[in-house]
Chains A and B, each alone.
Chain A
Amino acid sequence: MFGFFRKRKPKGFKNSGRPSADRGILVFENTSDVIQAENVLKKSGWSVRVMGPPPEIQTGCDLVIEFPLIEELNIRRTLASADIQPLSVVPVTAPLLAPVDLFQTKDFGDYLMVRAANMKITIAKEDLKIVNISGGGCPDVPYLAQEMVGKTLAQAPRPRDLGHTLCGYALELAYEELRRIC
Protein backbone atom coordinates (compact mmCIF):
# COMPACT_ATOMS: atom_id res chain seq x y z
CA MET A 1 0.00 0.00 0.00
CA PHE A 2 1.35 3.38 -0.97
CA GLY A 3 4.62 1.68 -1.81
CA PHE A 4 5.30 4.21 -4.51
CA PHE A 5 5.64 6.92 -1.91
CA ARG A 6 8.04 4.99 0.26
CA LYS A 7 10.92 5.53 -2.07
CA ARG A 8 13.00 8.36 -0.70
CA LYS A 9 14.31 10.94 -3.08
CA PRO A 10 16.79 13.23 -1.42
CA LYS A 11 16.40 15.90 -4.04
CA GLY A 12 14.74 16.76 -7.23
CA PHE A 13 11.58 17.83 -8.86
CA LYS A 14 8.85 15.29 -8.46
CA ASN A 15 6.58 15.10 -11.41
CA SER A 16 5.69 12.22 -13.59
CA GLY A 17 7.97 13.39 -16.38
CA ARG A 18 6.69 13.51 -19.89
CA PRO A 19 3.06 12.88 -20.62
CA SER A 20 2.54 9.37 -21.81
CA ALA A 21 -0.03 8.62 -24.50
CA ASP A 22 -0.69 5.23 -22.98
CA ARG A 23 -1.67 6.54 -19.56
CA GLY A 24 -5.00 7.84 -18.42
CA ILE A 25 -6.35 9.30 -15.22
CA LEU A 26 -9.40 8.31 -13.24
CA VAL A 27 -11.17 11.33 -11.78
CA PHE A 28 -13.32 10.90 -8.68
CA GLU A 29 -15.75 13.06 -6.81
CA ASN A 30 -13.58 13.34 -3.69
CA THR A 31 -10.27 12.26 -2.23
CA SER A 32 -11.84 9.52 -0.11
CA ASP A 33 -13.04 7.79 -3.30
CA VAL A 34 -9.50 8.04 -4.69
CA ILE A 35 -8.03 6.45 -1.60
CA GLN A 36 -10.61 3.66 -1.71
CA ALA A 37 -10.09 3.09 -5.45
CA GLU A 38 -6.33 2.96 -4.99
CA ASN A 39 -6.75 0.32 -2.29
CA VAL A 40 -8.97 -1.81 -4.54
CA LEU A 41 -6.83 -1.49 -7.65
CA LYS A 42 -3.53 -2.18 -5.94
CA LYS A 43 -4.98 -5.19 -4.15
CA SER A 44 -6.03 -6.45 -7.57
CA GLY A 45 -2.48 -6.05 -8.83
CA TRP A 46 -2.93 -3.05 -11.12
CA SER A 47 -0.01 -0.72 -11.73
CA VAL A 48 -1.53 2.61 -10.73
CA ARG A 49 -0.21 5.79 -9.12
CA VAL A 50 -1.90 8.50 -7.14
CA MET A 51 -1.06 11.86 -8.67
CA GLY A 52 -2.13 15.50 -8.81
CA PRO A 53 -4.74 16.37 -11.42
CA PRO A 54 -3.95 18.58 -14.41
CA PRO A 55 -4.75 22.28 -13.83
CA GLU A 56 -7.94 22.23 -15.91
CA ILE A 57 -9.67 19.87 -13.49
CA GLN A 58 -8.18 21.05 -10.19
CA THR A 59 -10.71 22.21 -7.66
CA GLY A 60 -8.57 22.53 -4.57
CA CYS A 61 -8.00 19.30 -2.73
CA ASP A 62 -7.60 16.70 -5.41
CA LEU A 63 -5.93 13.45 -6.23
CA VAL A 64 -6.37 11.35 -9.37
CA ILE A 65 -5.27 7.83 -10.25
CA GLU A 66 -2.95 7.36 -13.18
CA PHE A 67 -3.38 4.01 -14.92
CA PRO A 68 -2.50 2.19 -18.18
CA LEU A 69 -5.13 3.47 -20.60
CA ILE A 70 -5.39 0.24 -22.50
CA GLU A 71 -6.70 -1.44 -19.35
CA GLU A 72 -9.55 1.01 -18.92
CA LEU A 73 -12.30 -1.54 -19.33
CA ASN A 74 -10.76 -4.03 -16.90
CA ILE A 75 -10.02 -1.31 -14.37
CA ARG A 76 -13.54 0.04 -14.58
CA ARG A 77 -14.79 -3.53 -14.04
CA THR A 78 -12.58 -3.95 -10.96
CA LEU A 79 -13.86 -0.66 -9.53
CA ALA A 80 -17.46 -1.50 -10.33
CA SER A 81 -17.12 -4.77 -8.43
CA ALA A 82 -16.22 -2.66 -5.39
CA ASP A 83 -19.09 -0.28 -6.14
CA ILE A 84 -16.75 2.61 -7.03
CA GLN A 85 -17.54 4.79 -10.03
CA PRO A 86 -15.06 7.34 -11.38
CA LEU A 87 -16.57 10.63 -12.50
CA SER A 88 -14.57 10.48 -15.71
CA VAL A 89 -11.58 8.94 -17.42
CA VAL A 90 -9.19 11.33 -19.18
CA PRO A 91 -6.05 10.59 -21.23
CA VAL A 92 -2.86 12.08 -19.81
CA THR A 93 -1.82 14.94 -22.06
CA ALA A 94 0.56 16.87 -19.78
CA PRO A 95 2.92 16.03 -16.93
CA LEU A 96 1.07 15.40 -13.69
CA LEU A 97 2.18 16.74 -10.33
CA ALA A 98 3.48 14.05 -8.04
CA PRO A 99 2.87 14.18 -4.31
CA VAL A 100 5.74 15.14 -2.06
CA ASP A 101 7.56 11.97 -1.14
CA LEU A 102 10.10 13.23 1.36
CA PHE A 103 10.06 12.27 5.01
CA GLN A 104 11.75 14.21 7.76
CA THR A 105 12.31 12.60 11.13
CA LYS A 106 13.03 14.55 14.31
CA ASP A 107 14.19 12.87 17.48
CA PHE A 108 13.12 14.65 20.68
CA GLY A 109 14.68 12.05 22.99
CA ASP A 110 11.60 10.45 24.51
CA TYR A 111 9.53 11.33 21.46
CA LEU A 112 9.86 10.86 17.72
CA MET A 113 8.24 13.03 15.06
CA VAL A 114 7.84 12.20 11.37
CA ARG A 115 6.83 14.77 8.80
CA ALA A 116 5.43 13.98 5.35
CA ALA A 117 4.60 16.99 3.20
CA ASN A 118 2.70 19.38 5.49
CA MET A 119 1.71 16.79 8.14
CA LYS A 120 3.55 15.75 11.29
CA ILE A 121 2.84 12.91 13.70
CA THR A 122 4.65 12.47 17.02
CA ILE A 123 4.81 9.39 19.23
CA ALA A 124 6.23 8.56 22.64
CA LYS A 125 9.03 6.06 22.11
CA GLU A 126 8.28 4.18 25.31
CA ASP A 127 4.80 2.95 24.40
CA LEU A 128 4.41 4.10 20.77
CA LYS A 129 1.47 6.25 21.81
CA ILE A 130 0.55 9.05 19.43
CA VAL A 131 0.92 12.26 21.43
CA ASN A 132 0.38 14.94 18.78
CA ILE A 133 -0.60 15.51 15.18
CA SER A 134 0.25 18.86 13.67
CA GLY A 135 0.34 20.69 10.37
CA GLY A 136 -2.20 20.63 7.58
CA GLY A 137 -5.19 22.80 6.82
CA CYS A 138 -7.97 20.53 5.60
CA PRO A 139 -10.94 19.83 7.89
CA ASP A 140 -10.15 16.17 8.44
CA VAL A 141 -6.91 17.07 10.26
CA PRO A 142 -8.59 18.08 13.56
CA TYR A 143 -10.84 15.02 13.21
CA LEU A 144 -7.90 12.67 12.65
CA ALA A 145 -6.08 14.23 15.62
CA GLN A 146 -9.16 13.74 17.76
CA GLU A 147 -9.44 10.07 16.77
CA MET A 148 -5.74 9.15 16.86
CA VAL A 149 -4.03 11.11 19.64
CA GLY A 150 -3.79 9.13 22.88
CA LYS A 151 -3.80 5.76 21.11
CA THR A 152 -0.84 3.59 20.20
CA LEU A 153 0.23 3.20 16.59
CA ALA A 154 -1.31 -0.28 16.63
CA GLN A 155 -4.60 0.80 18.22
CA ALA A 156 -5.19 4.04 16.34
CA PRO A 157 -7.38 4.09 13.26
CA ARG A 158 -5.36 4.60 10.10
CA PRO A 159 -5.51 7.96 8.38
CA ARG A 160 -6.28 6.17 5.11
CA ASP A 161 -9.46 4.79 6.67
CA LEU A 162 -10.68 8.06 8.23
CA GLY A 163 -9.05 10.74 6.11
CA HIS A 164 -10.68 12.35 3.10
CA THR A 165 -8.24 14.98 1.89
CA LEU A 166 -4.68 15.48 0.73
CA CYS A 167 -3.72 16.38 4.30
CA GLY A 168 -5.22 13.08 5.44
CA TYR A 169 -3.31 11.30 2.72
CA ALA A 170 -0.06 12.99 3.77
CA LEU A 171 -0.72 11.93 7.35
CA GLU A 172 -1.11 8.33 6.15
CA LEU A 173 2.35 8.57 4.60
CA ALA A 174 3.84 9.89 7.85
CA TYR A 175 2.00 7.17 9.78
CA GLU A 176 3.36 4.49 7.44
CA GLU A 177 6.87 5.84 7.81
CA LEU A 178 6.55 5.70 11.61
CA ARG A 179 5.29 2.12 11.39
CA ARG A 180 8.25 1.30 9.18
CA ILE A 181 10.87 2.71 11.53
CA CYS A 182 9.31 1.71 14.88
Chain B
Amino acid sequence: MLGVVGTVPDPNFPLVHGPVRLIGGELIIAGRCIAINRGTPALLAAALKTAESRGGPEIYAFLVGDIGKGDGSRKLYQFLARQLPEFSFRVLTFHYLQPDADWHNKVLFAVETMTPRPTLIADAGFMYAAKMSGQSACYDFFTPDVGELAFLADEIAPHPFYTRGFILHQDADVPHLIRRAYQYQNAARYLVVKGQKDYIADEKRVIATVETPSFDAMEAIGGTGDTLTGMLSVLCGGDLTPARAALLAARANRWTGFFARPTPATQVCDLIDTIPQALQKALGGNLQEDDHGGNR
Protein backbone atom coordinates (compact mmCIF):
# COMPACT_ATOMS: atom_id res chain seq x y z
CA MET B 1 0.00 0.00 0.00
CA LEU B 2 1.12 3.56 -0.75
CA GLY B 3 0.73 6.20 1.96
CA VAL B 4 0.57 9.90 1.09
CA VAL B 5 0.81 12.71 3.64
CA GLY B 6 -0.12 16.28 2.79
CA THR B 7 -2.48 19.20 3.00
CA VAL B 8 -5.51 20.57 1.17
CA PRO B 9 -6.05 24.31 0.68
CA ASP B 10 -9.14 24.61 2.87
CA PRO B 11 -8.86 25.99 6.42
CA ASN B 12 -11.99 24.07 7.51
CA PHE B 13 -10.88 20.67 6.25
CA PRO B 14 -10.35 18.40 9.28
CA LEU B 15 -7.60 15.85 9.76
CA VAL B 16 -8.74 12.73 7.92
CA HIS B 17 -7.06 9.52 6.90
CA GLY B 18 -8.18 6.55 4.90
CA PRO B 19 -8.23 5.00 1.44
CA VAL B 20 -8.66 7.59 -1.28
CA ARG B 21 -10.56 7.25 -4.57
CA LEU B 22 -10.80 9.31 -7.75
CA ILE B 23 -14.44 9.60 -8.79
CA GLY B 24 -15.83 12.00 -11.36
CA GLY B 25 -12.77 14.19 -11.32
CA GLU B 26 -12.75 14.58 -7.54
CA LEU B 27 -10.91 12.87 -4.73
CA ILE B 28 -13.03 11.08 -2.16
CA ILE B 29 -11.65 10.33 1.28
CA ALA B 30 -13.54 9.58 4.49
CA GLY B 31 -16.78 10.71 2.86
CA ARG B 32 -15.35 14.08 1.80
CA CYS B 33 -14.79 15.44 -1.72
CA ILE B 34 -11.65 17.33 -2.66
CA ALA B 35 -11.20 19.27 -5.89
CA ILE B 36 -8.07 18.46 -7.86
CA ASN B 37 -6.19 21.61 -8.48
CA ARG B 38 -2.60 21.36 -7.49
CA GLY B 39 -0.61 20.42 -4.39
CA THR B 40 -1.28 17.15 -2.60
CA PRO B 41 -4.67 16.59 -4.31
CA ALA B 42 -2.86 16.71 -7.68
CA LEU B 43 -0.23 14.27 -6.42
CA LEU B 44 -2.96 11.91 -5.22
CA ALA B 45 -4.91 12.15 -8.47
CA ALA B 46 -1.77 11.38 -10.48
CA ALA B 47 -0.97 8.46 -8.18
CA LEU B 48 -4.50 7.10 -8.49
CA LYS B 49 -4.42 7.35 -12.29
CA THR B 50 -1.08 5.56 -12.30
CA ALA B 51 -2.33 2.86 -9.96
CA GLU B 52 -5.41 2.44 -12.15
CA SER B 53 -3.16 1.82 -15.15
CA ARG B 54 -0.79 -0.50 -13.30
CA GLY B 55 -3.36 -2.50 -11.34
CA GLY B 56 -2.58 -1.06 -7.90
CA PRO B 57 -1.56 -0.42 -5.23
CA GLU B 58 -4.25 0.87 -2.88
CA ILE B 59 -3.58 4.45 -1.85
CA TYR B 60 -4.07 5.64 1.71
CA ALA B 61 -3.87 9.35 2.48
CA PHE B 62 -3.37 11.46 5.60
CA LEU B 63 -4.74 14.91 4.90
CA VAL B 64 -5.51 18.10 6.77
CA GLY B 65 -6.58 21.62 5.80
CA ASP B 66 -3.78 24.20 5.90
CA ILE B 67 -3.57 27.49 4.04
CA GLY B 68 -0.07 28.30 5.22
CA LYS B 69 -0.68 29.16 8.86
CA GLY B 70 0.82 25.84 9.85
CA ASP B 71 -1.97 24.94 12.27
CA GLY B 72 -3.22 22.02 10.19
CA SER B 73 0.30 20.79 9.50
CA ARG B 74 1.11 20.76 13.22
CA LYS B 75 -2.01 18.69 13.94
CA LEU B 76 -0.98 16.24 11.26
CA TYR B 77 2.63 16.10 12.46
CA GLN B 78 1.39 15.36 15.96
CA PHE B 79 -0.93 12.62 14.70
CA LEU B 80 1.78 11.01 12.59
CA ALA B 81 4.37 11.09 15.36
CA ARG B 82 1.97 9.08 17.52
CA GLN B 83 0.14 6.87 15.05
CA LEU B 84 2.44 6.08 12.12
CA PRO B 85 4.01 3.02 13.75
CA GLU B 86 0.58 1.36 13.66
CA PHE B 87 0.48 1.53 9.84
CA SER B 88 2.30 -0.47 7.21
CA PHE B 89 3.19 0.96 3.81
CA ARG B 90 5.50 -0.13 1.07
CA VAL B 91 6.02 3.50 0.06
CA LEU B 92 5.34 6.62 2.11
CA THR B 93 5.32 10.02 0.43
CA PHE B 94 5.43 13.32 2.30
CA HIS B 95 4.33 16.41 0.46
CA TYR B 96 2.93 19.90 1.13
CA LEU B 97 3.40 20.43 4.86
CA GLN B 98 4.52 23.54 6.67
CA PRO B 99 8.30 23.07 6.95
CA ASP B 100 9.17 22.54 10.61
CA ALA B 101 12.44 20.83 11.47
CA ASP B 102 11.45 19.80 15.02
CA TRP B 103 8.19 18.19 13.94
CA HIS B 104 9.93 16.61 10.97
CA ASN B 105 12.34 14.84 13.31
CA LYS B 106 9.52 13.52 15.49
CA VAL B 107 7.73 12.11 12.44
CA LEU B 108 10.93 10.60 11.06
CA PHE B 109 11.54 8.96 14.42
CA ALA B 110 8.07 7.39 14.17
CA VAL B 111 8.82 6.21 10.62
CA GLU B 112 11.99 4.50 11.79
CA THR B 113 9.88 2.27 14.05
CA MET B 114 7.60 1.13 11.19
CA THR B 115 7.88 -2.49 10.14
CA PRO B 116 8.84 -2.94 7.39
CA ARG B 117 10.45 0.43 6.88
CA PRO B 118 8.74 2.02 3.85
CA THR B 119 10.48 3.55 0.87
CA LEU B 120 10.45 7.24 1.77
CA ILE B 121 9.77 10.05 -0.68
CA ALA B 122 9.86 13.72 0.32
CA ASP B 123 8.75 16.58 -1.87
CA ALA B 124 7.66 20.21 -1.39
CA GLY B 125 7.58 21.57 2.19
CA PHE B 126 8.47 18.27 3.80
CA MET B 127 11.59 18.01 1.65
CA TYR B 128 12.56 21.51 2.85
CA ALA B 129 12.13 20.36 6.46
CA ALA B 130 14.10 17.15 5.81
CA LYS B 131 17.00 19.14 4.40
CA MET B 132 16.90 21.70 7.17
CA SER B 133 16.91 19.02 9.85
CA GLY B 134 20.04 17.42 8.36
CA GLN B 135 18.26 14.09 7.83
CA SER B 136 18.12 14.02 4.02
CA ALA B 137 20.06 10.77 3.80
CA CYS B 138 17.19 8.96 5.57
CA TYR B 139 15.05 9.38 2.43
CA ASP B 140 15.00 7.27 -0.70
CA PHE B 141 13.83 10.01 -3.06
CA PHE B 142 13.77 13.77 -3.19
CA THR B 143 12.01 15.25 -6.22
CA PRO B 144 13.20 18.87 -6.49
CA ASP B 145 12.92 21.18 -9.45
CA VAL B 146 16.15 22.90 -10.44
CA GLY B 147 15.51 25.87 -8.13
CA GLU B 148 14.91 23.54 -5.21
CA LEU B 149 18.03 21.59 -6.14
CA ALA B 150 20.01 24.82 -5.75
CA PHE B 151 18.48 25.11 -2.27
CA LEU B 152 19.58 21.55 -1.46
CA ALA B 153 23.04 22.42 -2.78
CA ASP B 154 23.29 25.46 -0.52
CA GLU B 155 24.40 24.03 2.79
CA ILE B 156 23.24 27.02 4.82
CA ALA B 157 19.94 27.97 3.19
CA PRO B 158 16.98 27.05 5.43
CA HIS B 159 14.44 27.57 2.60
CA PRO B 160 14.65 28.10 -1.19
CA PHE B 161 13.86 31.75 -0.49
CA TYR B 162 17.36 32.15 0.98
CA THR B 163 19.39 30.25 -1.60
CA ARG B 164 22.57 32.22 -2.08
CA GLY B 165 22.97 33.89 -5.44
CA PHE B 166 26.29 32.31 -6.37
CA ILE B 167 24.65 28.89 -6.11
CA LEU B 168 21.36 29.92 -7.68
CA HIS B 169 23.30 31.16 -10.69
CA GLN B 170 24.64 27.69 -11.34
CA ASP B 171 21.21 26.33 -12.25
CA ALA B 172 22.43 25.57 -15.77
CA ASP B 173 24.97 23.16 -14.30
CA VAL B 174 22.65 20.63 -12.70
CA PRO B 175 25.31 17.91 -12.23
CA HIS B 176 27.38 20.37 -10.20
CA LEU B 177 24.40 21.19 -7.99
CA ILE B 178 23.67 17.49 -7.53
CA ARG B 179 27.28 16.86 -6.54
CA ARG B 180 27.19 19.75 -4.09
CA ALA B 181 23.91 18.55 -2.54
CA TYR B 182 25.45 15.12 -1.92
CA GLN B 183 28.72 16.66 -0.73
CA TYR B 184 26.89 18.40 2.12
CA GLN B 185 24.63 15.39 2.75
CA ASN B 186 21.55 17.31 1.73
CA ALA B 187 20.24 14.79 -0.78
CA ALA B 188 18.21 11.61 -0.56
CA ARG B 189 19.46 8.25 -1.84
CA TYR B 190 18.08 9.22 -5.24
CA LEU B 191 17.39 12.66 -6.66
CA VAL B 192 14.81 13.11 -9.41
CA VAL B 193 15.39 16.65 -10.65
CA LYS B 194 12.70 18.17 -12.82
CA GLY B 195 13.77 20.78 -15.33
CA GLN B 196 14.35 21.47 -18.98
CA LYS B 197 16.22 18.17 -18.80
CA ASP B 198 15.26 15.80 -15.98
CA TYR B 199 18.06 14.14 -14.01
CA ILE B 200 17.96 10.93 -12.02
CA ALA B 201 21.01 10.66 -9.82
CA ASP B 202 22.44 8.96 -6.79
CA GLU B 203 25.50 9.81 -4.76
CA LYS B 204 27.88 8.30 -7.29
CA ARG B 205 26.55 9.38 -10.65
CA VAL B 206 23.88 10.79 -12.87
CA ILE B 207 22.05 7.58 -13.68
CA ALA B 208 19.82 8.89 -16.44
CA THR B 209 18.54 12.03 -18.06
CA VAL B 210 15.25 12.63 -19.84
CA GLU B 211 14.72 15.51 -22.22
CA THR B 212 12.06 14.45 -24.67
CA PRO B 213 9.34 15.19 -25.40
CA SER B 214 9.82 18.78 -24.34
CA PHE B 215 7.22 21.51 -23.98
CA ASP B 216 8.25 24.96 -22.82
CA ALA B 217 4.77 25.67 -21.51
CA MET B 218 5.05 22.92 -18.88
CA GLU B 219 7.31 25.17 -16.79
CA ALA B 220 4.44 27.56 -16.18
CA ILE B 221 1.88 24.93 -15.22
CA GLY B 222 1.43 24.58 -11.48
CA GLY B 223 1.45 20.97 -10.32
CA THR B 224 3.73 19.26 -12.84
CA GLY B 225 6.10 18.38 -10.00
CA ASP B 226 3.18 16.99 -8.03
CA THR B 227 2.22 14.67 -10.90
CA LEU B 228 5.80 13.44 -11.24
CA THR B 229 5.98 12.64 -7.52
CA GLY B 230 2.55 10.98 -7.65
CA MET B 231 3.58 8.68 -10.49
CA LEU B 232 6.95 7.92 -8.90
CA SER B 233 5.22 7.04 -5.60
CA VAL B 234 3.24 4.30 -7.32
CA LEU B 235 5.94 3.06 -9.68
CA CYS B 236 8.69 2.67 -7.09
CA GLY B 237 6.45 0.38 -5.04
CA GLY B 238 6.27 -2.13 -7.89
CA ASP B 239 8.80 -4.45 -9.45
CA LEU B 240 10.99 -1.80 -11.04
CA THR B 241 14.32 -0.79 -9.56
CA PRO B 242 14.18 2.67 -7.96
CA ALA B 243 16.12 4.23 -10.83
CA ARG B 244 13.89 2.65 -13.48
CA ALA B 245 10.77 3.72 -11.61
CA ALA B 246 12.13 7.28 -11.58
CA LEU B 247 13.01 7.08 -15.26
CA LEU B 248 9.53 5.86 -16.18
CA ALA B 249 7.87 8.55 -14.04
CA ALA B 250 10.00 11.30 -15.58
CA ARG B 251 9.28 10.11 -19.10
CA ALA B 252 5.56 9.65 -18.52
CA ASN B 253 5.32 13.10 -16.92
CA ARG B 254 6.69 14.61 -20.13
CA TRP B 255 4.36 12.55 -22.29
CA THR B 256 1.36 13.98 -20.42
CA GLY B 257 2.37 17.23 -22.10
CA PHE B 258 2.40 15.59 -25.50
CA PHE B 259 -1.15 14.29 -25.09
CA ALA B 260 -2.55 17.43 -23.40
CA ARG B 261 -1.01 19.84 -25.96
CA PRO B 262 -0.20 22.33 -23.23
CA THR B 263 -0.14 26.09 -23.23
CA PRO B 264 0.98 28.14 -20.22
CA ALA B 265 -2.72 28.34 -19.31
CA THR B 266 -3.24 24.56 -19.18
CA GLN B 267 -4.30 23.31 -15.75
CA VAL B 268 -2.73 20.29 -14.10
CA CYS B 269 -5.99 18.32 -14.10
CA ASP B 270 -5.81 18.31 -17.92
CA LEU B 271 -2.39 16.68 -17.69
CA ILE B 272 -3.54 14.14 -15.11
CA ASP B 273 -6.29 12.95 -17.46
CA THR B 274 -3.64 11.85 -19.94
CA ILE B 275 -1.54 9.79 -17.53
CA PRO B 276 -2.75 6.36 -18.75
CA GLN B 277 -1.75 7.19 -22.35
CA ALA B 278 1.47 8.82 -21.19
CA LEU B 279 2.48 5.77 -19.15
CA GLN B 280 1.74 3.47 -22.04
CA LYS B 281 3.87 5.62 -24.33
CA ALA B 282 6.71 5.83 -21.80
CA LEU B 283 6.60 2.08 -21.22
CA GLY B 284 6.92 1.56 -24.96
CA GLY B 285 10.42 3.02 -24.82
CA ASN B 286 13.54 1.32 -23.59
CA LEU B 287 13.73 1.62 -19.81
CA GLN B 288 17.45 0.97 -19.67
CA GLU B 289 19.24 3.49 -17.54
CA ASP B 290 21.48 5.72 -19.58
CA ASP B 291 25.15 5.27 -18.97
CA HIS B 292 26.53 8.61 -17.99
CA GLY B 293 30.05 7.40 -17.63
CA GLY B 294 30.28 6.40 -14.00
CA ASN B 295 31.18 9.24 -11.68
CA ARG B 296 29.63 12.61 -12.29
A residues lining the B interface (CB < 8 Å): 9, 11-15, 30-32, 52, 55, 58-62, 97-100, 102, 106, 108, 110-111, 113, 115, 117-118, 120, 122, 124, 131-146, 149, 162-170
**Chain A residues, Cβ within 8 Å of B140:** none
* Interface contact A146-B37, CB-CB below 8 Å: yes
In the assembled complex, the Cα of A29 lies from the Cα of B78 at a distance in Å of 19
Most B CB contacts (10 A, CB to CB) among A137, A140, A149 go to A137
* Interface contact B166-A139, CB-CB below 8 Å: no
In the assembled complex, the Cα of A61 lies from the Cα of B267 at a distance in Å of 28
* Interface contact B219-A139, CB-CB below 8 Å: no
* Interface contact B98-A9, CB-CB below 8 Å: no
Instruction: With both chains docked as a complex, state the minimum distance between the C-beta of A182 and any C-beta of chain B, in angstroms.
Output: 15
In the assembled complex, the Cα of A84 lies from the Cα of B201 at a distance in Å of 47
Most A CB contacts (10 A, CB to CB) among B40, B100, B128, B156 go to B128
In the assembled complex, the Cα of A68 lies from the Cα of B68 at a distance in Å of 29
Instruction: With both chains docked as a complex, state the minimum distance between the C-beta of B67 and any C-beta of chain A, in angstroms.
Output: 4
Residue B221 interfacial (CB < 8 Å): yes
Partner of B9, one of A117, A124, A136, A139: A139
**Given A61-B100, A137-B96, A140-B67: A12 touches B166 (CB 8 Å cut-off):** yes
**Given A61-B98, A111-B265, A138-B125: A117 touches B160 (CB 8 Å cut-off):** yes
* Interface contact B265-A132, CB-CB below 8 Å: yes
In the assembled complex, the Cα of A149 lies from the Cα of B123 at a distance in Å of 23
* Interface contact B67-A102, CB-CB below 8 Å: no
**Given A61-B99, A134-B224: A113 touches B264 (CB 8 Å cut-off):** yes
B interface bracket (residues with beta carbon within 8 Å of A): 35 or more
Residue B7 interfacial (CB < 8 Å): yes
* Interface contact B263-A118, CB-CB below 8 Å: no
When C-beta atoms are compared, the residue in chain A nearest to B129 turns out to be A60
* Interface contact A137-B128, CB-CB below 8 Å: yes
Binds A, one of B21-29, B145-153, B178-186, B231-239: B145-153
**Chain B residues, Cβ within 8 Å of A32:** 68-69
Instruction: With both chains docked as a complex, state the minimum distance between the C-beta of B271 and any C-beta of chain A, in angstroms.
Output: 12
In the assembled complex, the Cα of A157 lies from the Cα of B69 at a distance in Å of 17
* Interface contact B165-A142, CB-CB below 8 Å: no
Instruction: With both chains docked as a complex, state the minimum distance between the C-beta of A83 and any C-beta of chain B, in angstroms.
Output: 17
The A-contacting residues of B in range 66-109, CB under 8 angstroms, are 66-70, 72-73, 96-102, 104
Residue B1 interfacial (CB < 8 Å): no
A-B contact pairs, 27 of them (CB 8 A): A12-B166, A52-B161, A58-B101, A60-B99, A61-B100, A61-B125, A61-B128, A99-B162, A102-B165, A106-B220, A108-B264, A120-B219, A132-B265, A136-B124, A137-B99, A137-B128, A138-B98, A139-B67, A139-B68, A139-B96, A139-B125, A140-B69, A142-B41, A143-B9, A145-B37, A145-B38, A170-B161
In the assembled complex, the Cα of A12 lies from the Cα of B166 at a distance in Å of 6
Instruction: With both chains docked as a complex, state the minimum distance between the C-beta of B6 and any C-beta of chain A, in angstroms.
Output: 8
The A-contacting residues of B in range 201-251, CB under 8 angstroms, are 216-217, 219-224
* Interface contact A100-B161, CB-CB below 8 Å: yes
* Interface contact B163-A100, CB-CB below 8 Å: yes
Most B CB contacts (10 A, CB to CB) among A113, A124, A166 go to A166
In the assembled complex, the Cα of A100 lies from the Cα of B169 at a distance in Å of 11
Instruction: With both chains docked as a complex, state the minimum distance between the C-beta of B151 and any C-beta of chain A, in angstroms.
Output: 7
**Chain B residues, Cβ within 8 Å of A138:** 68, 96, 98-99, 124-125, 128
* Interface contact B145-A135, CB-CB below 8 Å: yes
**Given A113-B219, A131-B264, A137-B148: A167 touches B100 (CB 8 Å cut-off):** no
Kindly list 6 other residue pairs between chains A and B, CB separation below 8 angstroms, not including A59-B100, A115-B147.
A97-B158, A118-B148, A118-B160, A122-B220, A140-B68, A168-B68
**Chain B residues, Cβ within 8 Å of A142:** 7-9, 37-41, 96
* Interface contact B97-A118, CB-CB below 8 Å: no
Residue B168 interfacial (CB < 8 Å): yes
**Chain A residues, Cβ within 8 Å of B164:** 13-15, 97
Residue B127 interfacial (CB < 8 Å): yes
Residue B157 interfacial (CB < 8 Å): yes
**Chain A residues, Cβ within 8 Å of B37:** 142, 145-146
When C-beta atoms are compared, the residue in chain A nearest to B73 turns out to be A139
**Given A120-B220, A133-B222, A137-B125: A164 touches B147 (CB 8 Å cut-off):** no
**Given A106-B219, A139-B7, A139-B98: A164 touches B168 (CB 8 Å cut-off):** no
